[in-house]
């Protein structure tokens, strides 16, 4: 009976281990890990920064939920907006909740108001996926109000998503093996604006770099991983 109990314990541990092995998260694995992404103008002027912390990680069979807390600081380094989002490993597939793309620079003016967020998932492929692999679209809708009165609406649609290539990328936080994703970004607020972006993601880290381009292909800004404290 004792041997049977030991065998069951080992099988349980092996099952948990395989759940984690099969998952390739694009966030840090260890609770308490902190990192920082800095936003720049095309000429390299600092526009703001966002700090991240993995505050919780819940394993349920072959599913893992990561909870991340973020704080946005403006160009004067004043704390302006805080937010939490979740990311998931589901059966070996990693995805963000699209609310992770809420831009602190845009949302800081509405930080004391009520939010309603409708977000789909945003899948990031494993590093061993083939170049040219297409990915599902994603969308984020945010409604902001106060006292029952709607003040602001924003809709972001991310389409034409594709894995372009893989490369090692060096930032002030280190050198990371990355998957490069390209996509079309359509933002609807007062008016509709279509742009494109490239993003570099590294397993166990997240987004290492992002570049935004207008409709004519001119860079409008970029973001880069500047700190990683494991």
pLDDT one-digit tens code per residue, 13-27: 433 443 344 678 999
pLDDT band at 166 (very low <50, low <70, confident <90, very high): very high
Both structure tokens of 39: 């936003």
| DSSP, res 130 | P
C-beta neighbour count of 141 within 10 angstroms? 16
The pLDDT score that the predictor gives to residue 3 is 46
- The ranges assigned to domains in the chain are 23-229
Q: How far is CA 207 from CA 99, 111, 215, in A?
A: 15, 24, 23
The pLDDT score that the predictor gives to residue 104 is 60
- Tell if the pTM clears 0.75, that is, is over it: yes
Residues 228, 54 contacting (CB under 8 angstroms):
no
C-beta neighbour count of 62 within 10 angstroms? 16
**121-123 and 114-119 strand pairing:** unpaired
Q: How far is CA 145 from CA 105, 141, 195, in A?
A: 18, 13, 27
Residue 12 has pLDDT above 70, yes or no: no
For the segment 177-187, the average pLDDT, to the nearest whole number, is 95
pLDDT digits over 85-96, tens only?
A: 999 998 878 999
Say how far residue 86 (Cα) sits from the centre of its chain. Answer: 9
pLDDT band at 9 (very low <50, low <70, confident <90, very high): very low
What is the Cα–Cα distance from 71 to 84, expressed in whole angstroms?
A: 9
Both structure tokens of 20: 């984690």
Nearest in space to 142 (alpha carbons), one of 110, 120, 106, 117: 117
Q: Percent of the chain at pLDDT above 90?
A: 60
pLDDT band at 118 (very low <50, low <70, confident <90, very high): confident
What is the Cα–Cα distance from 79 to 159, expressed in whole angstroms?
A: 31
For the segment 46-53, the average pLDDT, to the nearest whole number, is 96
**138-146 and 114-119 strand pairing:** antiparallel
73-82, 98-107, 149-158, 209-218: the lowest-pLDDT one: 98-107
Question: In the CATH scheme, what architecture does the domain 23-229 have?
Answer: Beta Barrel (2.40)
């Amino acid at each position: 009976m004792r041997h049977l109990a030991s065998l069951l314990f080992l099988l349980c541990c092996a099952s948990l281990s395989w759940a984690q092995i099969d998952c390739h998260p694009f966030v840090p694995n260890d609770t308490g890990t902190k990192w920082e992404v800095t936003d720049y103008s095309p000429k390299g002027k600092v526009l703001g920064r966002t700090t991240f912390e993995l505050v919780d990680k819940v394993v349920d069979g072959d599913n893992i939920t990561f909870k991340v807390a973020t704080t946005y600081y403006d160009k004067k380094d004043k704390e302006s907006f805080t937010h939490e989002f979740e990311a998931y490993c589901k059966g070996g597939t990693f995805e963000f909740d699209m609310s992770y793309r809420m831009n602190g620079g845009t949302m800081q003016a509405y930080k004391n108001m009520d939010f309603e967020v409708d977000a789909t998932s945003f899948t990031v492929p494993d590093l061993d996926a083939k170049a040219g692999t297409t990915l599902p679209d994603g969308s984020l809708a945010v409604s902001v109000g106060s006292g029952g009165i709607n003040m602001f609406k924003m809709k972001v649609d991310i389409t034409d998503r594709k894995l372009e290539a893989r490369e090692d990328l060096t930032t002030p936080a280190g050198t990371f093996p990355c998957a490069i994703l390209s996509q079309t970004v359509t933002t609807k607020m007062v008016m509709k604006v279509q742009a494109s972006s490239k993003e570099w993601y590294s397993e166990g880290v997240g987004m290492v770099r992002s570049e935004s381009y207008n409709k004519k292909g001119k860079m409008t800004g970029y973001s880069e991983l500047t700190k990683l404290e494991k």
